[in-house]
Copies of this chain bind each other. A is one copy, B any other.
């Protein structure tokens, strides 16, 4: 297979985390606490980091958030990106307070002079800049052009901004152009990757909705892009606890065989054949596997007869029947255990074999 496009971009450092140029695709999220409240925000960042978040972003809506932002940058285990809209002075101050990167949208900063002031501050502090464009904040000149689709306007806005940044000698840029629908997201990211093949892309569906719909939209859009070799870092927006965004992102990387942080769970959907209450058992195994880092596949099947054969590609698994369960590995039964003990036995066997 040829080299994926994502590996052919330049590499940009966001603090200690590399984006693009052959670096692994990274997982980002954004805090939902008030940035003014540094302790609450740091506590949320700790939960995000534990779930596998690698870069975190905090909003700086007003000057009152800056002091908290400085404390967060000083104590965060993850590189912190400052999310700024409208006010270039907040971006400059955030760079001075230790932002690993600034996320700005040049289209709503007000003038090129102000954008240049932000670029110069980032140069001094060593921060990268993510140029983030969405439907609500296009390059005003581009937005006035007629006969263009939203996707074309997003791409033209990005190209115009990148040209400006590079003409000012600033290359540490990551691009994002987000839409809230899958079709526009695909069209835009594919076009960006064609037009600006050297710039790392931050991908995700914005305002994707609540947990279920947001998971579907992001998995579909970002899954398609990643499988095509597009996308260097991702933030999967969900109207939910941001820890869920991180879990979904890791599930997606695991599903595509790109990166795996915990075991893969193979579990049958249950049917009229099933003799145990599978859903809570599978949920319990899924929860307990979150603390296992071995990149194995673990099966939980509801049929002691078909289970081991159906799940023979799994490294280890359980197939339960009437009051007992077969513990199996690669389709072969290791031993039969009582149903009540089966999850403990499975976890002990995983511990013994793989940890």
Contacts and interface: CB of A to CB of B under 8 A. Distances in A.
Interface of A: 30-36, 41, 58-61, 65, 83, 85, 134-137, 150, 180-183, 186, 206-210, 212-217, 219-221, 223-224, 227, 237-242, 244-245, 247-248, 251-252, 255-257, 264-274, 278-279, 282-283, 286, 297, 299-301, 306, 309-313
A266 B212 contact: no
B207 A266 contact: yes
Given A59-B272, A213-B264, A224-B224, 11 more contacts: A33-B272, A180-B266, A181-B255, A183-B257, A212-B244, A212-B251, A219-B220, A220-B227, A220-B256, A221-B255, A239-B300
Contact of A268 (B239, B257, B306): B239
Number of copies: 2
21 contacts: A32-B269, A32-B272, A33-B272, A59-B272, A61-B273, A85-B306, A136-B309, A180-B311, A181-B297, A209-B267, A209-B286, A210-B279, A210-B286, A213-B264, A213-B265, A216-B223, A216-B252, A220-B223, A238-B269, A240-B269, A245-B269
A321 B23 CA distance: 40
A52 B85 CA distance: 41
Nearest to A247: B212
Contacts of A252: 216, 220
A63 to B, nearest CB: 13
B282 A210 contact: yes
A279 B242 CA distance: 11
B311 A207 contact: yes
Question: Would you call the interface of chain A mostly helix, strand, loop, or mixed?
Answer: mixed
B238 A135 contact: no
A299 B135 CA distance: 14
A224 B35 CA distance: 38
A210 B61 contact: no
A269 B248 contact: no
Contacts of A268: 206-207, 237, 239
B32 A274 contact: yes
Contact of A215 (B36, B219, B272): B219
Among A209, A297, A310, the most chain B Cβ lie within 10 Å of the Cβ of A209
A32 B286 CA distance: 20
A93 B304 CA distance: 25
A215 B255 CA distance: 11
A238 B270 CA distance: 9
A251 B65 contact: no
Given A59-B272, A278-B239, A212 B213 contact: no
A284 to B, nearest CB: 10
A216 B215 contact: yes
